[in-house]
A and B are shown apart, each in its own frame.
Chain A
C-alpha cells in the first residue's frame, strides 16, 4: 500500500525536512506537504465522507502542523504525528458538523449510493455505510484506519494515542457491531 512508501522515508530525511521547515524554507514546506497530503486527504475523506470537509480537514491539518512543527520532539515519526493531527482535526470537525451532516445525510447518501451502484450491490453498500456511520467515533476511526486504509495497530496506536491493545479491542468491537448490523448478508461471507 501507499503506507509502505511513506514509511520508507528515513527519520534522517524527516529530521532534515523539519529543520528546513522550521527555518522558514518554503520549498521544504511544499515538500512536506507533497509527501503526506495524499494519505492525510484519503483518511480525512474516509472519515468525513465529503470532499469539501476532507479538503478543509486536510488544510487545517497542514496549517496546524506548520505552526507546531517547531515543538515536534521526534517522539514518534513525522507521519504518525501528522496523522495524529489529521485524525484529531477530522473527528473534532465532524462532531461540530454532526448535526448538519445528519440533516443532510439522506441527500448525500443518495448521491454516494448512486455513484457506487456500478461496483457493488446497492443494498449492501448502503447498509454497510449506515452501519459504519453508526459506530462510535473511537470504533469507527480504528475500523476505517485498519480495515479500510490498512494501518497497523502500531500506527493506529501512535496516531490515536491509545495502547495497541485498545486499538485491537476497538476493532473487535467495531467488527462485532457490523456483523450484527449486516447479519442479513451472512450467506455472502459464509459461502
Chain B
C-alpha cells in the first residue's frame, strides 16, 4: 500500500462526487442572468423562490447610515454632557442681599455673622453698591431722582451680571422692603399738621404699592413668611395712599393701629438682612 496508490484510488473514486450533468444549461442560465440584471437587484441561492442577496453597495450604505447615526448620537451625548457639566459647575443660587452699605437709618439688630452676611459677600462691590449713596440719611426723605427711588428701576434694576434671576428677585425684594421701612418710619415720625408731607408720603406709597403688587406676583412671594408681610404692607400702603390733605387724625390712627397690630415694622426689619442698603 503506497501513497501513490491511495491518491490514485481517491481521485478515481472521487470523480463520482457531485458529478455534474454532461450538459451545461447555458441558455437557461443566460436567460436567468439577463432577467436578473434587468430586474436590478441580484438574486441568488433561490431556485424557484429567489431571495435577495445583500449586495456590497447595500451593505456599504448600511455601514454609512450606522456611522452617521453613531456620529449623531456621539454629538448629542457630548452636547448633553457639556450642558450638564456647565449647569452643575455653575455657582449655586444663593439668597442675594443688597450691596453692603452702612446706613445711619439701619436699625436692624441682626448680629454679624448671620446668614445674611454670607449672602452679602456675594454682591459686595457690585455696581449697585458703588453707585449707592452710602451714609446718606434717608429717613423721612423720599428718594426722588436716586437710582433706587424710581419704582420702575426698583423692579427692573437687574441683578449683577453673574447672578441668577432668583437672586435678582431677592435683591429687588430687599430693596423694596428697605424703602417701605423708610416710608413707614417717615410716616410715624411726621407731624400731624404737615399737609405737604402727607401728600409726599401718599405719592411715595403709591409707587411702593405698585412694586408691592409686582413682588406679590413674583417668585419672591413664594416665601411663606415674606408673602404675608407683603400683603400686610400692601394694606398699609393703600391706607397711606388714601390719606388726603384733609384727612382726620383718626385716619392716621387707623394706619398706626394696623402697623402695630400686625407688627409690620418688626417684620420688615427682620426681613431685611443686616447691613443691607436701606431706603437708598
Contact = CB atoms under 8 A, between A and B. Distances in A.
A, B co-complexed = yes
Interface in B33-49: 33, 36-37, 42-48
Interface string A90-114: 0001001100000000000000100
Contacts of B1: 186, 189-190
A49 B16 CA distance: 11
Contacts, number: 120
A47 B17 CA distance: 9
B17 A58 contact: no
Contact of A54 (B7, B16, B20, B33): B20
B24 interface: yes
B13 A144 contact: no
Contacts of A147: 7, 10-11, 14
A22 interface: no
A189 B7 CA distance: 9
Given A66-B37, A132-B14, A59 B20 contact: no
A182 B11 CA distance: 13
A30 B30 contact: yes
B9 interface: yes
Interface residues of A, number: 53
Q: Is the interface of A mostly helix, strand, loop or mixed?
A: helix
Which of the listed residues B20, B25, B32, B47 has the most CB atoms from chain A within 10 Å of its own CB? B20
Interface string A165-185: 000000000010011001001
Contacts of A125: 13, 16
Contacts of B5: 189-190
Contacts of A56: 44-47, 50
A45 B22 CA distance: 11
Given A33-B33, A55-B28, A59-B44, A49 B18 contact: yes
Contact of A128 (B17, B29, B43, B44): B17
Interface string A129-143: 100100000000001
A158 B280 CA distance: 95
Contacts of A190: 1, 5
Contact of B32 (A55, A128, A178): A55
Contacts of A47: 18
A31 to B, nearest CB: 12
A55 B73 CA distance: 45
A148 B15 CA distance: 6
A38 interface: yes
Which 6 residue pairs spanning A and B have beta carbons closest together? A189-B9, A45-B20, A190-B1, A60-B44, A52-B47, A49-B18
22 contacts: A33-B33, A38-B24, A41-B25, A51-B21, A52-B48, A54-B20, A55-B47, A57-B44, A58-B29, A63-B37, A63-B42, A66-B37, A67-B42, A116-B19, A120-B13, A125-B16, A129-B16, A144-B18, A179-B6, A179-B10, A186-B1, A189-B6
Given A144-B17, A148-B17, A186-B1, 14 more contacts: A41-B20, A49-B18, A51-B21, A52-B48, A54-B20, A55-B32, A56-B47, A67-B42, A120-B16, A128-B17, A132-B17, A144-B18, A175-B10, A189-B1
